[in-house]
A and B are shown apart, each in its own frame.
Chain A
Amino acid sequence: MTDALHRTPLYDLHVALGARIVPFAGYEMPLQYEGIMAEHNHVRDQAGLFDVSHMGQARYEGDEAALEALITADLPALGAGEQKYSLLLNERGGIMDDLMLSRPDDGGIFLVVNAACKAADFAHIAAKTKGRGTLTPVADCALLALQGPAAKDVMASLCPDAVKLTFMQAGAFTLAGTAALISRSGYTGEDGFEISIPAAEAARIARTLLDHPAVKPIGLGARDSLRLEAGLCLYGHDMDETRTPAEAALMWAVAKSRRERADFPGAAIVLKQAAEGPKQKRVGFRMAGAPAREGAEIVKNGETIGVVTSGGFGPTAGGPVGMAYVNAEHAAAGTPVEIMVRDRPRPAEVVKMPFAQHHYFRG
């Protein structure tokens, strides 16, 4: 028996805008509107609006050390109005989820986690912080992402104060007459904002944003190609509980102070891997011709040396790009490898990421 799919507060708007709806992480979500390529390019050139209301939003209040013990961030160092990317790890250092943490106002820490992980994440955090802190899921809010070089102009026309934020800052604002938590962040590699607003106001605000001539609605298809080109991991694909931050090339998301104190979950395992070098490592690759997709085997001299975890055509990169885990000795940029596509080895090269330059607004 399968559970009924959920709908976000913007479902009716997606349908009205002609979206092709697909099931994703338990939700009926828009895959595309006019087409993945056009939507991808529109975000890189102008601005796109994404419905990411399926993601899990929550507040944490209480003893922050209890929350910090589960993740890789330095919470005392997270100042008012700041945002951090962090990882929720299991006891072996395996990645349970990646998440955004911020302190937008006086209401405690605001967390945003992946849709497919939210029930497990929230149960884990609540259980582990019991008696010391309170995790409250924010179930009555939608989450929108406005991304692209024109995002700042669009935001300036509706909420000029929010444009003062720089990359990875967050605050509480009034947007088109509604209380909103806004952060200068996203998952496309472009400048932009993530906007948490009451569900009841979501469709009105989405329409207001879409009224701006620079803004088009963007589906999950382009969200995936944009984040892949930006070199950003997709949970459940490029990282999961079997991979540590050292293997996933995400040690930058483990705060320096936490590494020094070795007090994050699985620290002994992860720090040993980081010092000695993990057996396998996440890398980027490029190739010509047929794109290698998730699950494709990476070979060298007839031996399997890795596996593709995300792969597809990068419209901005102008060709097939992807991420893979490969044995450490083949992980250096410039290493030629072969990837099996339809039972034939195809030449590819390990390269540095991102595949499309980041355009974050750092002030």
Chain B
Amino acid sequence: MTIRYSKDHEWIRVEGDEGVVGITAYAAGQLGDVVFVELPEIGKQVRAGDEAAVVESVKAASEVYAPVSGEVVAVNDALEAAPQTVNESPTGDGWFIRIRLADKGELDALMDEAAYKKMIEG
């Protein structure tokens, strides 16, 4: 199982030609209590770095960027009723979207876990 990380604190878990995207535990902790999540429509085409979703904490709204290009094939509707899942399980039930990868080569531009850890520990 391959998990890659973006510098904007998204993770992507690669499953065949698709990838599941969420935000890291570090990012969820920085945001604080998530009170609302706005998800894209299924079928939306995104390019790496595009805004794919929005996460709202008590204090502010933050963008979630697509770490890779592709088509949004599923969204985590459960977050609409239970946005706090992003805090409770950022890398599990708190996923945001599933993307059909346009170019698996883009994954090479992302970080592995060791590199991401190094980045946040600065």
Q: Which partner residue on chain A sits nearest B63 by CB separation? A: A342
Which residues 46-84 in B have Cβ within 8 Å of A in the complex? Answer: 54, 56-61
Interface of B is mostly: strand
Q: How far apart are the CA atoms of A35 and B33 in the complex, in Å?
A: 7
A313-B32 contact given A290-B54, A291-B56, CB 8 Å threshold: no
A293-B36 in contact (CB<8A): no
- How big is chain B's contact interface, by range? 10 to 19
Candidate in B54, B58, B59 with the most chain A CB atoms within 10 angstroms: B58
**Interfacial chain A residues near B32, Cβ < 8 Å:** 32, 35-37, 221
- B112 CB-CB contact with A under 8 Å: no
A36-B56 contact given A291-B35, A291-B36, CB 8 Å threshold: no
**Interfacial chain A residues near B36, Cβ < 8 Å:** 289-291, 313, 320
- A48 CB-CB contact with B under 8 Å: no
Candidate in A38, A224, A293, A313 with the most chain B CB atoms within 10 angstroms: A313
A40-B58 contact given A35-B32, A290-B38, A342-B38, CB 8 Å threshold: yes
Partner of B59, one of A221, A289, A290: A221
Partner of B33, one of A37, A291, A320: A37
**Interfacial chain B residues near A40, Cβ < 8 Å:** 58
Interface 1/0 per residue, A295-327 and B, CB below 8 Å: 000000000000000001101000010000000
**Interfacial chain B residues near A36, Cβ < 8 Å:** 32-33, 57-59
Candidate in B32, B36, B59, B60 with the most chain A CB atoms within 10 angstroms: B59
**Interfacial chain B residues near A86, Cβ < 8 Å:** none
Closest CB of chain B to A135's CB: distance in Å?
A: 35
Closest CB of chain A to B50's CB: distance in Å?
A: 14
Partner of B35, one of A32, A224, A293, A313: A313
- A129 CB-CB contact with B under 8 Å: no
B33-A290 in contact (CB<8A): no
- A185 CB-CB contact with B under 8 Å: no
Closest CB of chain A to B35's CB: distance in Å?
A: 4
Closest CB of chain A to B77's CB: distance in Å?
A: 14
A-B contact pairs, 25 of them (CB 8 A): A32-B32, A35-B32, A35-B33, A36-B32, A36-B33, A36-B57, A36-B59, A37-B33, A37-B35, A37-B58, A40-B58, A221-B32, A224-B59, A225-B58, A289-B36, A290-B36, A290-B38, A290-B56, A291-B36, A291-B56, A312-B59, A313-B36, A320-B35, A342-B38, A342-B61
